[in-house]
Amino acid sequence: MEKKPTGSSLSKALTMLNHVCTSPVPLRFAELVDLSELPKATAHRQLNTLLEHGLVRFDEHKQAYYPGYGLLALAHRTWANLDIRDVAASPMRDLWSSTQETIHLAVLDGADVIYIDKLESPKSLRLYSAVGKKGPVYCTGVGKAMLAFLPTQTQQQIISEQAFIRHTEHTLTTPEALQDNLQQIKDTGISLDLEEHEIGIKCAAAPIFNSRHEVVAAISVTAPAFRTHDDVYEEMKKSVKLAAEVISKHLGACDYSDEE
């Protein structure tokens, strides 16, 4: 009698993956069918999906399934982001203490930025951002800070995927204008959001690098425009760049300020 599938397709695939990863010995197809209690057709379909994504691999000689190398890539990316949060925690607090303004830590997620940490200003300030929330790359300080230091091909691909919606009168709305701004960011090591995403909100951001000199995140200070007159804004720029350099060094990066 054929066994009946239970749960969602994702649940079935994860069940299969769990069996492959936790078994002390490589499992054959028949063994996986028995352990998962799925019909053969369903089990075969779920395993093919896992194979396509590199989450399991199949040894033709042994006719058995092993954990895939794609799991290592996922684990590496996950730990990299978690490590950045841990390493950035102290410099973020120092930056928050010295500026008393909102501090963001963000990474790229495809053609968007995603905020992975945030320290709120003790002063009254309402912002679009929130931990776990995505934002546009082309008009945020953190987004442009990372985009400026990406390899050319990756950078151009991300630029091509931007919507270039005009959020304010200051938003950069063409690839050419953004490209000019990115060159300025490469020259100075500082990315500015001059009320480009939200009217009345200014930001100074800087890129964070790993030991391979790859940009992996960005940190920013965000404040209302009325609190960022020239001398204050200059201090914000210096402070955020220093914080980014400290985090980068903790991640194994050399002093990149003299290299660009």
- Mean pLDDT value across the chain: 90
Residues ≥6 apart with Cβ < 8 Å to 192:
141, 202, 203, 204, 205, 237
Q: Where are the beta strands (DSSP E) in 82-190?
A: 102-109, 112-119, 134-136
pLDDT confidence bin for 246, thresholds 50/70/90: very high
Q: Note the pLDDT of residue 260.
A: 42
Asked if the model's pLDDT at residue 125 lies above 90, the reply is no
CATH class of 9-72: mainly alpha
Q: Note the pLDDT of residue 258.
A: 43
DSSP string, 172-241: --SHHHHHHHHHHHHHHS-EEEESSSSTTEEEEEEEEE-TTS-EEEEEEEEEEGGG--HHHHHHHHHHHH
Asked if the model's pLDDT at residue 189 lies above 50, the reply is yes
What the block records as the tokens of 74 is 């996922």
Range 118-142 average pLDDT: 85
Range 149-175 average pLDDT: 96
What number of other Cβ atoms are within 10 A of residue 37's Cβ? 12
Answer whether 9-72 and 81-251 agree in fold. Answer: no
pLDDT confidence bin for 79, thresholds 50/70/90: low
81-251 falls under which CATH superfamily? Answer: GAF domain (3.30.450.40)
Range 27-45 average pLDDT: 93
Separation of alpha carbons 21 and 152, rounded Å: 38
Range 181-203 average pLDDT: 95
Asked if the model's pLDDT at residue 126 lies above 90, the reply is no
Q: Note the pLDDT of residue 82.
A: 62
Beta bridge mates, 57: 66
Range 220-225 average pLDDT: 93
Range 1-18 average pLDDT: 73
The residue extents of the domains of the chain are 9-72, 81-251
Asked if the model's pLDDT at residue 70 lies above 60, the reply is yes
